[in-house]
Structure 1
Amino acid sequence: MRKLMVATLLAGATVATPALAQDVGPTFTGPRVEAILGYDRTGAGSDVDNDNGNDDQKIDGLLYGVGAGYDVNLGSAVVGVEGEWTNSTSKSSRRDYTDQFGFGRVKQGRDLYVGARAGILADPATLVYVKGGYTNTKLNVLAGNTNESTDEAFKLNGWRIGAGVERAINANTFAKVEYRYSKYEDAKLRFADGATTSEFGIDTDRHQVVGSVGWRF
């Protein structure tokens, strides 16, 4: 009887082990959502030198937002598409009316990003990847020498590239660290009445170092 019980338990364990493995499921596959937090810096591009002692060369602050995407695990590689909505506390620090990297006194507004990424699995739980895509952001014009935003804003169009490392905490949760560089080369100014100027050329750089925590479905 005792031998029969031991044999039954061993057989049950053999059946249960593959079942548990199936419950864990593959990582880096399927839809995902995430919360984003990090450092944000926007400034004059490499073709612009306005370091004259009067103008801000940059605005920087805290970046925050949300992202979503869909990944496909190809075995040793992962490819996917993604999008983001972020905002930032970055704003002009000077209280005068000098020209600050070409936009006057502004506060960083919302940023929209859509793109793709591709990476390789350094180990079963760690993804190293690169990314790239389109970004559209706003610089809200500040009222006089205050920190209050007006109804006028610059809308900037550009491209973004980046690289990062994602770590699977378990089958459903993950954490990421990422660097992104954005280049804006075209802009329009939207006035308070809704009218906009014609598109004009700019040279504006943006650097971000962010961390993310997310959930994979």
Structure 2
Amino acid sequence: MKNIALFGAAAALFAVPATANAQAYVQAQTGLDSVSVNGGSSEGLTYGVAAGYDVQARDALFFGIQASVSDSTTKECERDLLSVGDKLCVRSGRDLAAVARVGTNVGDTTKLYVLGGYTNARIRVTYNDGTNKDSEGTNLDGFRLGAGFEHDFGGNLFGKVEYNYSNYEQGFSRHYALAGLGVKF
């Protein structure tokens, strides 16, 4: 089911918009990544790209879809858990998301919006006891909710700030505070 949803979102994202008032875009984004696991949290940097398009529905109302891929530097390690000198690390990896956006135009150059959709994150656990190193990764499905502010700088260039909350399986959740720079075409 999740593969069908991702394929459908990707196909819709890259399909040529049928309406004349649709605006496609691509953006680079970076920001703070805070990953929580059963009450504990760790912070790092997230970075990635997103693409999508928005369709103007009425004077001030727009709808859109967006797909993104990002990675993270967030990592937490503990030493001396089972024996002296051992090390257990949990690292967040790539994050894929497909979301829908709905928002309002505030003047000619600014948008406020909310978003929601599907996300899939990769988590890698590594254990090293000094002689053996074991590593295992897993993909976690979840949902994403967020809100943002977007401003056109002129021409096709725009910037945005956005907050995202993602909740995954197995007690994982994530908070993103993002800044993005993109181009519309």
The two structures have a TM-score, normalised by structure 2, of 0.78
Change (3 A) 1:138 1:213: same
1:138 aligns with 2:97: no
The two structures, once aligned, show a CA RMSD in angstroms of 2.1
- Determine which structure has more spread, i.e. the larger CA radius of gyration: 1
| Structure 1: gaps of 5 or more residues | 1-27, 50-56, 99-103, 186-201
- Conserved in 1, the CA contact under 8 Å of 2:127 and 2:135? no
Aligned partner of 1:17 in structure 2 is: none
1:160 has 2:144 as partner? yes
Measured at CA, do residues 97 and 69 of structure 1 come closer, stay the same or move farther in structure 2, by a change above 3 Å? farther
- Cα gap change, 1:145/1:128 in structure 2, threshold over 3 Å: closer, same or farther? farther
Letter of the 1:63 counterpart: T
Q: Which moved more, 1:88-97 or 1:72-81?
A: 88-97
Partner SS, residue 169 of structure 1: strand
Q: TM-score, normalised by structure 1?
A: 0.67
Work out whether residues 118 and 142 of structure 2, in 8 Å CA contact, stay in contact via their aligned partners in 1.
yes
How far 1:78 moved relative to its partner?
A: 1.3
1:197-212 paired onto structure 2 within 5 Å: 202-212=170-180
Identical residues among aligned pairs (%):
38
Deviations 1:98-153 (A, max 9, x none): 7xxxxx6211110000011010011110000000000000111224279xx96520
Aligned residues: 157
TM alignment of 1:112-151, pairs within 5 A: 112-144=96-128
CA contact (8 A) 1:109 1:137 kept: yes
Output aligned runs, 1:1-217, within 5 Å: 29-44=22-37, 48-49=38-39, 57-74=40-57, 75-97=59-81, 105-144=89-128, 152-185=136-169, 202-217=170-185
Matched position secondary structure for 1:124: coil
CA contact (8 A) 2:124 2:137 kept: yes
Separation in 2 of the partners of 1:65 and 1:143?
A: 28
Amino acid at match of 2:159: A
Runs of 4+ in 1 over 4 A off after TM superposition: none
